């Protein structure tokens, strides 16, 4: 047990004033109005309401409800355009390759080349990595072997239960405990190719929760979407580090998040169930642990002040919303100072700007090193995500919308790699670099912002390529003193003043 540090910071070092662009333009610095308050109320309602059923064909009595909901919240699986999930539908081999790669969190890029001769390249602009690049990663990670005799994968064949089991056993690897030689469970292990893996999977709980398990359960039958979800969920549980459970109703290992933090050891994971967790004051993270919710739209940690401050330690959070619910005092959603942080599938909302203080969803400063992926920063008085001082961040696949100034902003000597982010409907800019900040900005969508899609001010620099900037006033705006490299493959269209303004050319 550790002693809790009850000291709460009253200010954050390095607090930035509102941004000041070189050119004369209208800058909105208003506090959150009725519309902003309504947006935050909607966020909280969505979080609480989504603890119900994500799919109309997966109701409270469905045997795979927990697994389907958990994987859906993490973006591992999704439903059909009809809104249904189809738990009894069969799964193609290439579909399961994508599922397991996403479940394990492996990065997938167009550089991952598939060598199976029968896997077609993607022709879907909405999912340019499927199927070939996902299958390539699955093969590289030794999750699949295909059919070596003819170098095929047979991607459109329905996958069998035993094939799913073998893939998840390969994925589990060293986390598995091999059963004693005299141990026998409920299943049939006679298949010469997959029998040993079926036995190992059952012993390690990877088949737990499947309907109808017995000696006559046919492992050669085609796996359904529900069964695949259950086995992937079991794999996630096996690979998740041990931790403690806290539930919104006070049940679990500790009644509150604060109580858990006061008692856990360094490196512990706190698992939060669905619902709203109300903090009495800012939670100061001064030792390393992990915080894992049940989904960005399932779990909300709220506070009238800044929700979380991470100071000079390592910290990670996944699958939850950080929401500032106050209006009177300045506050950020989350602050990281001189820390190493990793945020995945989190929402940062409700930052309050009072005078010259507060207002960011996620504020990274000092020497912070951050990875932020598949997160949302929305409805903050100032910025969605701010980097200051010498902070460095990799920002990938984030959505920064409806913020009072900018979606993503870098100050001072901050650096970063910004890829596949969506920054839209912010009062000022989608993405801003000021002072001596430098970043790679690529493959991002900046649309519908009040002034710029992407703005390079001060002496900022970096590379700007393959972005789409539309329906702003300026698509990309470069101050005369800034020095970024602007590639020719940016898509700039529909901006009301000019698509590209380069002050260096004047």
* 363 has a pLDDT exceeding 60: yes
* 35 has a pLDDT exceeding 60: no
| Average of per-residue pLDDT across 451-455 | 98
* 117 has a pLDDT exceeding 90: yes
* 303 has a pLDDT exceeding 70: yes
* 26 has a pLDDT exceeding 90: no
Segment 334-352, tens digit of pLDDT: 999 999 999 999 999 999 9
* 219 has a pLDDT exceeding 50: yes
* pLDDT value, residue 46: 58
First to last CA, the chain: 64
Q: How far is CA 480 from CA 410, 484, 501, in A?
A: 18, 11, 10
| Average of per-residue pLDDT across 2-10 | 32
* pLDDT value, residue 53: 59
* 27 has a pLDDT exceeding 70: no
Peptide bond into 255 cis (omega under 30): no
* 126 has a pLDDT exceeding 90: no
Percent of the chain predicted with pLDDT > 90: 81
* 37 has a pLDDT exceeding 70: no
Q: How far is CA 209 from CA 170, 354, 439, in A?
A: 20, 51, 47
What rounded mean pLDDT belongs to the chain? 89
- Rounded to two decimals, what is the model's pTM? 0.75
| Average of per-residue pLDDT across 7-35 | 39
* 452 has a pLDDT exceeding 50: yes
* pLDDT value, residue 48: 57
Q: How confident is the model at residue 20 (pLDDT cuts 50, 70, 90)?
A: very low
Q: How confident is the model at residue 44 (pLDDT cuts 50, 70, 90)?
A: low
How far apart are alpha carbons 325 and 51 in whole angstroms?
A: 20
* pLDDT value, residue 180: 94
* pLDDT value, residue 350: 94
Segment 52-98, tens digit of pLDDT: 557 999 998 999 999 998 898 788 999 999 999 999 999 999 999 99
Q: Which residues of 367-393 are buried (b: 16+ CB within 10 A; e: fewer)?
A: ebbbebbbbbbbbbbbbbbbbbbbbbb
Q: How confident is the model at residue 25 (pLDDT cuts 50, 70, 90)?
A: very low
Cβ-proximal residues to 116 (8 Å cutoff; 6+ apart), any chain: 135, 139, 146, 151, 152, 153, 155
Q: In the chain, which residues fall in CATH 2.160.20.10?
A: 35-46+242-505
**Cβ neighbours of 251 (radius 10 Å):** 11
* pLDDT value, residue 494: 97
* 170 has a pLDDT exceeding 60: yes
35-46+242-505 belongs to CATH 1.50.10.20? no
| Average of per-residue pLDDT across 236-256 | 91
* 468 has a pLDDT exceeding 50: yes
């Amino acid at each position: 047990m550790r002693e809790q540090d009850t000291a709460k910071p009253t200010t954050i070092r390095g607090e930035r004033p509102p941004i000041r662009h070189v050119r004369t333009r209208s800058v909105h610095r208003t506090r959150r109005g009725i519309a902003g308050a309504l947006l935050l109320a909607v966020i909280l309602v969505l979080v609480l309401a989504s603890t119900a059923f994500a799919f109309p064909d997966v109701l409270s009595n469905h045997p795979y409800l927990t697994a389907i909901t958990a994987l859906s919240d993490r973006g591992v699986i999704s439903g059909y355009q009809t809104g249904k999930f189809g738990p009894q539908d069969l799964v193609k081999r290439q579909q399961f390759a994508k599922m397991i790669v996403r479940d394990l969190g492996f990065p997938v890029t167009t550089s991952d080349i598939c060598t199976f001769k029968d896997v077609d390249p993607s022709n879907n602009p909405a999912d340019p990595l499927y199927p070939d690049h996902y299958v390539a990663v699955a093969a590289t990670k030794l999750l699949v072997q295909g059919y070596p005799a003819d170098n095929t994968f047979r991607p459109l064949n329905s996958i069998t239960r035993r094939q799913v089991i073998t893939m998840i056993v390969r994925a589990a690897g060293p986390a598995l405990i091999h059963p004693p030689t005299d141990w026998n469970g409920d299943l049939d292990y006679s298949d010469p190719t997959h029998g040993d893996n079926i036995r190992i999977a059952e012993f390690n709980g990877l088949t737990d929760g499947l309907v109808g398990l017995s000696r006559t359960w046919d492992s050669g039958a085609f796996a359904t979407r529900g069964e695949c979800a259950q086995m992937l969920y079991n794999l996630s549980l096996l690979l998740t580090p041990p931790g403690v459970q806290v539930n919104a109703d006070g049940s679990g290992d500790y009644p509150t998040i604060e109580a858990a933090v006061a008692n856990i050891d360094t490196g512990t994971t706190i698992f939060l169930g669905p619902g709203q967790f109300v903090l009495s004051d800012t939670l100061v993270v001064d030792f390393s642990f992990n915080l894992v919710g049940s989904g960005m739209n399932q779990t909300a940690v709220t506070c009238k002040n800044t929700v979380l401050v991470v100071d000079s330690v390592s910290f990670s959070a996944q699958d939850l919303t950080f929401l500032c619910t106050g209006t009177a005092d300045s506050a950020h959603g989350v602050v990281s100072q001189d820390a190493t942080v990793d945020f995945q599938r989190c929402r940062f909302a409700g930052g309050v700007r009072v005078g010259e203080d507060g207002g960011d969803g996620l504020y990274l400063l000092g020497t912070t090193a951050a990875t932020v992926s598949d997160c949302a920063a929305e409805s903050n008085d100032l910025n969605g995500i701010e980097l200051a001082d010498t902070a460095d961040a990799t920002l990938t696949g984030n959505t920064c919308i409806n913020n009072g100034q900018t979606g993503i902003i870098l100050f001072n000597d901050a650096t970063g790699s910004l890829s596949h982010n969506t920054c839209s409907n912010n009062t000022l800019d989608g993405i801003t670099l000021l002072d001596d900040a430098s970043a790679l900005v690529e493959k991002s969508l900046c649309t519908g912002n009040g002034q710029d899609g992407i703005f390079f001010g001060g002496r900022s620099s970096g590379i700007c390529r393959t972005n789409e900037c539309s329906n702003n006033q300026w698509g990309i705006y470069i101050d005369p003193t800034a020095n970024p490299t602007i590639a020719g493959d940016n898509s700039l269209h529909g901006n009301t003043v000019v698509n590209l303004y380069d002050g260096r050319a004047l």
